[in-house]
């Protein structure tokens, strides 16, 4: 991990996963990244976007928002048709990658290889897990961040912090010093605040932002959730 990634890992984070939503693809991805760039000027919470591989270069050349890939394959240059080459996302300007997102589940050896490859290539590794058991299994490989997302809450209206607060607290104990993100169903400032209060370092969010009527306003209100509790 390079110095600026280290700085990111030590900050409160709002990671916006654009998935393959129409509202988060191509020119629409750029619109969201530009909004993030504006918002970033007025907040200490660090914004990161997880983009499709085909959009990374566009976003990194037109904005200063850190971009991570949604997935990479632990492969080298060569005969790997259809795979995502780590060097390609690096060359396009990505600073890291999600690994094992709920919608792109990987087997154990691929997860471990990808975490190790990220270390070799100085890519920020954001390992997604579905439960505490999985967090425990991979914490020993030291991904830079772990993101817990209960699959059944993804894309819904009820957030992890409302439905499964104990999952956040239990996983925090399991991951030790690795900063924990949490996600699934996050839509409101309260959802963020609750997770933050429980000890999450950041939020991984998709539909709540990407499909919001007013994306800028939604990001701004989620950021407010990181504010310390006022008495
Ligand atoms: O990667 C973020 C994600 O899976 C959560 O999705 O739509 O519930 O915020 P969403």
State the Cα–Cα distance between residues 205 and 183, nearest whole angstrom: 6
Q: Stretch 168-186: mean pLDDT, rounded? A: 96
Could you give the count of Cα atoms lying within 13 Å of 133 in the half-sphere of its Cβ? 0
Cα 208 to middle of ligand 1, angstroms: 8
Q: Stretch 123-131: mean pLDDT, rounded? A: 97
State the Cα–Cα distance between residues 161 and 180, nearest whole angstrom: 13
pLDDT digits (tens, 9 = 90+) for 189-218: 999 999 999 999 999 999 999 999 999 999
CA-proximal residue: ligand 1, atom 5 (nearest): 184
Q: Stretch 53-65: mean pLDDT, rounded? A: 98
Q: Which residue of the set 149, 193, 194, 218 is catalytic?
A: 149
Question: Which fold would CATH assign to domain 3-159+180-193+201-207?
Answer: TIM Barrel (3.20.20)
Where in the chain does DSSP place strands (E)?
A: 13-17, 46-51, 67-69, 96-99, 124-129, 145-148, 180-183, 202-205
Considering only CA atoms, which of 207, 208, 204 is closest in space to residue 221? 208
| Catalytic residue check, 37 | no
pLDDT at residue 33, as a whole number: 98
Q: How confident is the model at residue 231 (pLDDT cuts 50, 70, 90)?
A: very low
Of the chain, the percentage scoring pLDDT greater than 70 comes to 98
Cβ-contact 125, 5 below 8 angstroms: no
pLDDT at residue 228, as a whole number: 65
State the pTM of this model.
0.96
| pLDDT over threshold 80, residue 144 | yes
Which residues fall within 8 angstroms of residue 64, CB to CB, at 6 or more apart?
A: 37, 40
Q: Stretch 210-227: mean pLDDT, rounded? A: 96
19: left (phi over 0), alpha (psi -120 to 50) or beta: left
pLDDT at residue 2, as a whole number: 83
Domain boundaries, the chain: 3-159+180-193+201-207
pLDDT at residue 230, as a whole number: 44
**Ligand 1, atom nearest to 207 Cα:** 7
| pLDDT over threshold 70, residue 186 | yes
Cα 78 to middle of ligand 1, angstroms: 33
State the Cα–Cα distance between residues 184 and 55, nearest whole angstrom: 23
Q: Stretch 141-152: mean pLDDT, rounded? A: 97
Average pLDDT, the chain: 96
């Amino acid at each position: 991990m390079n110095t600026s990634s280290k700085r990111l890992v030590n900050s409160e984070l709002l990671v916006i996963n654009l998935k393959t939503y129409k509202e988060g693809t191509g020119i629409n991805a750029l619109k969201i990244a530009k909004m993030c760039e504006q918002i970033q000027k007025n907040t200490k919470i660090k914004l990161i976007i997880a983009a499709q591989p085909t959009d990374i270069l566009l976003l990194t050349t037109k904005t200063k928002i850190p971009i991570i890939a949604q997935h990479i394959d632990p492969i080298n240059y060569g005969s790997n048709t259809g795979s995502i080459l780590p060097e390609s996302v690096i060359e396009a300007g990505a600073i890291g990658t999600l690994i094992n997102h709920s919608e792109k589940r990987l087997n154990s050896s691929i997860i471990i290889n990808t975490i190790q490859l990220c270390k070799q290539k100085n890519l920020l590794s954001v390992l997604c897990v579905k439960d505490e058991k999985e967090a425990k299994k991979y914490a020993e490989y030291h991904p830079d961040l772990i993101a817990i997302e209960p699959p059944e809450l993804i894309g819904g209206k009820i957030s992890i912090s409302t439905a499964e607060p104990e999952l956040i607290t239990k996983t925090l104990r399991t991951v030790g010093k690795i900063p924990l993100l949490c996600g699934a169903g996050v839509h409101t400032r309260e959802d963020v605040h609750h997770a933050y209060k429980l000890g999450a370092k950041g939020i991984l969010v998709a539909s709540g932002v990407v499909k919001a009527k007013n994306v800028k306003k939604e990001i701004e209100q989620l950021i407010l959730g990181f504010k310390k509790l006022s008495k």
